[in-house]
Amino acid sequence: MKVQKAQDLLSSLDFDSLFFHKGQAGLDAFEEAVNRTKALLLSEEETHVTPYSGETPLEVATRIDGLKVASEKGEGLEEILRDLQQRVFHPSVRVTHPTCIGHLHCPPLIASVIADLIIGVLNPSMDSWDQSPSATYVEQQLIQWICQQFKYPSSSDGVFTSGGTQSNYMALMLARDAFCLRELQWEVRRHGLPQQAKRMRILCSEYAHFTVQQAAVQLGLGEQSVIPVATNEKFQLDPCDLKDKLSTMKALKLLPFAIVATCGTTDFGSIDPLTELAEIATQHQLWLHVDAAYGGALVLSQRNQDKLKGIELADSITVDFHKLFYQTISCGAFLVKEKACFRLIERHASYLNPKEDEDEGVLNLVGKSLQTTRRFDALKILLSMRWVGTERFARMIDYTIDLAQGVVELMKGFPSLQVLNPHPEISAVVFRYVSQRHDEERDNQMNRRIQQMLLKQGHGLVAKTVVKGKVYLKLTLLNPRTTLSDIEKLCQKIIALGMRYTQMDMEVM
Ligand SMILES: *Cc1c(COP(=O)(O)O)cnc(C)c1O
């Protein structure tokens, strides 16, 4: 009697159609859901002609206001998708649009999107081998492959991460702990920070990513521990200033322990002189970390990989795959030259990765990661590299680098567009509209307005940045489907807007 009741209840709740499983209900439900979603995505894509709908923050907030986020009895997928299409998908940024070129925000490869679907279905967790028996080894192989691309020795190792933020944090944590152990005979993991921590210093270019400071804060060293080094006219770290700063530190009895070199600064794509920095690091026994979140992808290009020369000398490397590797968010890696370093942060949980597992040769990746439960993002890289092929990958990257150079040449033909980095090493172009009135503040205001208006009118999603007090516009040309003619049209819009605003300002004055 009781059993019958329980079974009736079960069939009325219909759990069977909620999961993908080999029962007919599971297969049918999955197929239908995928088909409906596919239809929605196709129709969404067809209706869009601009990189963004142009709605203001207030308009979007109003759309989302009152959005139903849960329903007691459950709804049909079709109904939910229709609602979301209006309120959420419609006012989304179209990352695949040729003039969606503001941030380090790439159009994802179909290969990556499909891998994401597979990852979702299989849902392996990378922390312990028994949750990801094959995926564990796939990730290891991918890490080895990436290490080889960077000409890292066989002693190297790494782990997939959520991106550059986590990778940079890991680098500075290992650098800090290795330094404390070697120089101060102090084990941070056990005892916390040593009393000398207040004197520990990290050096990086003034254009290094803000996550260097963020990591220093989280590592208990404070922002004061990060010393910005001057850059040259190409926005690359100046080794002379670095040497000066190191001698000053020595005199002050400070304890420099790491240099962060940037291989592709976020604004300019500039690459610090890696070989020279490696020499200085060796001389002063400093950990050299290369933040190659943006520039790491150049390793795939025969034509451009020379720009990374010296990266193989780094103690650790950050690579982001959700930038110039065209992967869905999130996907990154942290690489170290000496895998023994991971011992500094490793920990053992009896339920997950007991020491006995290691003795028996079972590989649990949790010991290398800051995360416990972790996605099988390595599959996205594998599918992309095999499906697209490394040759076509290289050509995409080369194309975007050539495009950036082409854009610089193009802008030379427009006297009111002033380029700040006329020799981009990767694919970022920083420039501004200048009005000839020699009024810095008005020009700043105008460039801000141009950026907003381009987005509002749907001409382009362009970024803005401030360099030495001046507002600039920025193009990050990751999309290999963007053409020079797309940019030419965008430039004409920018100039038209600039002229109009100058006119309006004059009338007010
Ligand atoms: C994007 C970026 C980061 C941060 O990486 P996330 O993947 O956003 O966490 C760090 N450094 C550089 C140079 C970057 O371009």
Q: Which atom of ligand 1 is nearest to the CA of 263?
A: 13
Measure 170 CA to ligand 1 centroid, in angstroms: 13
Structure tokens at 23: 């029962």
Q: What is the C-alpha to C-alpha distance for residues 312 and 153, in angstroms, rounded to an integer? A: 8
Whether 164 contacts 291, CB under 8 Å? yes
Q: Which atom of ligand 1 is nearest to the CA of 166?
A: 9
Whether the CB of 296 sits within 6 Å of ligand 1? no
Q: What percent of the chain has pLDDT over 70?
A: 99
Other CB atoms closer than 10 Å to residue 415's CB: what's the count?
Answer: 10
Whether the CB of 262 sits within 6 Å of ligand 1? yes
Whether 150 contacts 309, CB under 8 Å? no
Ligand 1 pocket check: which of 103, 210, 294 to mutate, most ligand atoms within 8 Å of Cβ?
Answer: 294
Q: Rounded mean pLDDT of 413-418?
A: 97
Q: What is the C-alpha to C-alpha distance for residues 186 and 255, in angstroms, rounded to an integer? A: 14
Q: Which residue's alpha carbon is at the smallest distance from atom 6 of ligand 1?
A: 164
pLDDT in tens, 74-130: 999 999 999 999 999 999 999 999 999 999 999 999 999 999 999 999 999 999 999
Whether the CB of 310 sits within 6 Å of ligand 1? no
CATH class of segment(s) 151-343: alpha beta
Whether the CB of 332 sits within 6 Å of ligand 1? yes
Q: What is the DSSP letter of 414?
A: -
Q: Which residue's alpha carbon is at the smallest distance from atom 5 of ligand 1?
A: 164
Report domain extents, the chain.
2-96, 151-343, 390-508
Matching CATH topology for 151-343 and 390-508?
Answer: no
Whether the CB of 163 sits within 6 Å of ligand 1? yes
Residue 14 neighbours by CB under 8 Å, 6+ apart: 25
Q: What is the C-alpha to C-alpha distance for residues 55 and 155, in angstroms, rounded to an integer? A: 52
- For the domain 390-508, what is the CATH code? 3.90.1150.170
Whether the CB of 266 sits within 6 Å of ligand 1? yes
**Residue 5, pLDDT score:** 76
3-state DSSP call for residue 430?
Answer: strand
Nearest to 174 by CA among 189, 190, 196, 164: 189
Structure tokens at 379: 């599959």
Measure 332 CA to ligand 1 centroid, in angstroms: 9
Query: Which range, of 3-7, 46-50, 259-263, averages the lowest pLDDT?
Result: 3-7
Pairing, β 200-205 against β 255-262: parallel
pTM, rounded to two decimals: 0.96
Q: Which residue's alpha carbon is at the smallest distance from atom 10 of ligand 1?
A: 164
Q: What is the C-alpha to C-alpha distance for residues 392 and 394, in angstroms, rounded to an integer? A: 5
Fold topology of 2-96: PLP-dependent transferase-like (1.20.1650)
Whether 350 contacts 318, CB under 8 Å? no
pLDDT in tens, 445-503: 999 999 999 999 999 999 999 999 999 999 999 999 999 999 999 999 999 999 999 88
Whether the CB of 287 sits within 6 Å of ligand 1? no
Q: What is the DSSP letter of 223?
A: G
For 466, phi then psi, to 5°, come to: -120, 125
